[in-house]
Homo-oligomer: A and B are copies of this chain.
């Protein structure tokens, strides 16, 4: 009887372990939801900031000593492929963050282990996507701010200061968003690691 009772207790404990394995602990699930919501907000803000960023100025262009033209010039994201990539990447990451947030909230503890694994891989991919977009926009931003005399690319931020500041703010949001995705990936791996080591 004692042996049976022990076996039954062990069985219950084993079932409890399986449940624990399928259900991420609360300490991990709360930061997961918060970080996902943060990534959603940051990438949405970054995409919107770039999308609405537009500045028009009258710029003086010197053709010769006696001829100076005054041209109305506009700065907007469609004019630079790096900013198009930046906006699209943030929109993709934002859509993914929204979809994964809904899934994680609705499925909750009932979500399958394979789905959790797929979400982890996608979190990592989103981090990479946002970092590549940040790199692209930063590279253009540096030239726009300081120019490059070696290739005769003149700086433009002295004329479109407001546009450049807004782009820099969007870049910062995107960078923080990518760190949120990195943290999501690391938290999941640490949780898996604990489970694997507690065998």
Which residues of chain B have C-beta atoms less than 8 A from A113's C-beta?
193, 196-197
Interface flag for A82 (CB, 8 Å):
yes
Q: Is the CB of B152 within 8 A of A18?
A: no
Whether A189 pairs with B192 at a CB distance below 8 angstroms is yes
Among the listed B80, B124, B143, which residue makes an inter-chain contact with A124, where contact means beta carbons less than 8 Å apart? B124
Question: A residues within 8 Å of B by Cβ?
Answer: 3, 17-18, 21, 64, 73, 75, 79-82, 85, 113, 117, 120-121, 124-125, 127-129, 131-140, 142-144, 148, 150-154, 156, 178, 182, 185-186, 188-190, 192-193, 195-197, 199
Distance in Å: Cβ of A126 to nearest Cβ of chain B = 11
Residues of B within 8 A of A75 (CB): 150
Q: Is the CB of B81 within 8 A of A124?
A: no
Q: Are B193 and A193 in contact (CB under 8 A)?
A: no
Residue of B nearest to A195 (CB): B196
Query: How far is the CB of A71 from the nearest CB of chain B, in Å?
Result: 11
- Docked Cα-Cα span, A129 to B179, in Å, equals 12
How far does the Cβ of A93 sit from chain B's closest Cβ, in whole Å?
13
With A135-B134, A139-B137: A128-B192 Cβ-Cβ less than 8 Å = no
Q: Are B131 and A189 in contact (CB under 8 A)?
A: no
Known: A133-B135, A153-B154, A185-B185. 15 other contacts (CB 8 A): A3-B3, A18-B199, A81-B139, A82-B135, A117-B189, A121-B189, A131-B131, A139-B140, A140-B140, A143-B143, A151-B153, A151-B156, A192-B192, A195-B195, A195-B196
